[in-house]
Amino acid sequence: MIRSILTNKWFKFITVGTLYALWVIWLGSYLWFLGLAIIFDIYITEKVHWAFWKKKNPPNGKQTKVVEWVDAIIFAVIAATFIRMFFIEAYTIPTSSMEKSMLVGDYLFVSKTAYGPKTPNTPLSFPFVHNTMPIIGGKSYSEAIERPYKRLAGFTTIKNNDVVVFHFPEGDTVALGMPTQSYYDMVRTYGRSRVWSDKRNFGDIISRPVDKRENYIKRCVGIPGDKIEIIKSQLYVNGEPQEKFDGMQYDYLVKTNGTAINPKALDRLHIAEADRNTYSSQQYLLPLTQNSADQIKGFANVESVVKMLEEPGERGQGIFPNDSRYPWNVDNFGPLTIPAKGETINLTTDNLPLYRRIIDIYEENDLEVNGNQIKINGEVATSYTFKMDYYWMMGDNRHNSADSRYWGFVPEDHVVGKAKFIWLSLDKDRSFPANIRFKRLFTRVH
């Protein structure tokens, strides 16, 4: 009885049709309801041979093994692409910017339903590839069809201290010779003419749509409307010190009595070999959590452990907004209020450096500045109303993280999803099987 119901074509149509209708309602594009006609034909009328790679009426009712494999592969690719696009996506931690909360070699899943998945800006794309074709190189997507930003309903909103994956805000322009570095930072350092002319070092300069920019992972420390400030490395949000995390670390200068620190002792503190900056057997620059710093202070040959801090008023290189009127650095920054959608601010040439990229790039206005006069879309502007929410992202490895302190606000249309749990973790400094960090497997991201 149950078997006959499950194999009944009307039962299949109603089940698949209901799931499809719920997806269309979630998507909010009701023109897709036309797809119900295709589903009806697949299960009921069977007028069109949709599975063209299969024989319509094979001998003995069986397909060849090759056709069965092709059928399985096509189904797997479509299903995996759908899941990756709307529900969950795998991600790898490539750098130490989130240590020790997250480690290089952590493999994790990112929930797109947490904040609501974005529909693709560039839907014509090679499956399972982000922006570059493997082996052959070149773009893995076509810009023949481009869609505006749209986010579906999610289960929650971004909250303070969430670990968030997002598209790199300054990734709209990329030097292919150095794809992981900020194009704008290179222009400030080397000059625009050299970056564009020196193909040997910088490669071709290309632009990328929002959904094809490099993915970053940081902790959201400021949400729309928050006032953030950093004083002597301590972050304050709305006047309150940020909650301390066990994995948060800073750079410390460690001095010994002249004898070297045993490398095995550094191994036990989980300090990666790449992070061991040794000036001599007497001086080390190490990224340490508070707990690790306290333990190193107890080593018999260690004389001092001092946190490295930049002084207030010293303008740091490459620090947002890269303007002499804002002499900020990684340890002393702000105060600064995070823009919120619908909020209106008074706009002057003094505060324009903070919002120039929002107005000109993220919200796609035509911005002109003539002396003390600001024009937006050809009209003189003394105020501006934000069209999107913005966020402030920082790495837990506070002295070794390229984050909002360098490139500013993260627009809501750049947010990919929320990091949920680690399913695999591999230590690059060890060989198999000792490289598997078993204690981190299937642990939640905090």
Antiparallel, parallel or unpaired: β 205-207 and 173-175: antiparallel
Q: Would residue 3 count as lying in a domain?
A: yes
Q: Would residue 273 count as lying in a domain?
A: yes
Terminal-residue alpha carbon distance, the chain: 48
Domain hosting residue 296, numbered range: 241-307
Say yes or no: 303 and 349 in one domain.
Answer: no
* Residue 171 to residue 411: CA distance in whole angstroms: 13
Q: Would residue 185 count as lying in a domain?
A: no
* Residue 72 to residue 5: CA distance in whole angstroms: 24
Low-confidence ranges of the chain (pLDDT < 70): 1, 3-4, 6, 52-61, 63
* Residue 335 to residue 351: CA distance in whole angstroms: 12
Domain end marker among 355, 385, 415: 385
pLDDT tens digits for range 176-232: 998 888 999 999 999 999 999 999 999 999 999 999 999 999 999 999 999 999 999
Q: What is the pLDDT of residue 245?
A: 80
pLDDT tens digits for range 357-389: 999 999 999 999 998 999 999 999 999 999 999
Q: Would residue 413 count as lying in a domain?
A: no
Q: Left (φ > 0), alpha (ψ -120 to 50) or beta: where does 59 sit?
A: beta
Cis omega (within 30 of 0) on the bond before 123? Answer: no
Q: Would residue 280 count as lying in a domain?
A: yes
Count Cα atoms within 13 angstroms, Cβ side, for 164. Answer: 31
Q: What is the pLDDT of residue 254?
A: 93
Q: Would residue 332 count as lying in a domain?
A: no
* Residue 202 to residue 112: CA distance in whole angstroms: 34
CATH of the domain at 291: 3.30.70
Cis omega (within 30 of 0) on the bond before 127? Answer: no
Q: What is the pLDDT of residue 272?
A: 84
Domain end marker among 385, 417, 438: 385
* Residue 214 to residue 197: CA distance in whole angstroms: 24
Q: Would residue 18 count as lying in a domain?
A: yes
Domain count, the chain: 3
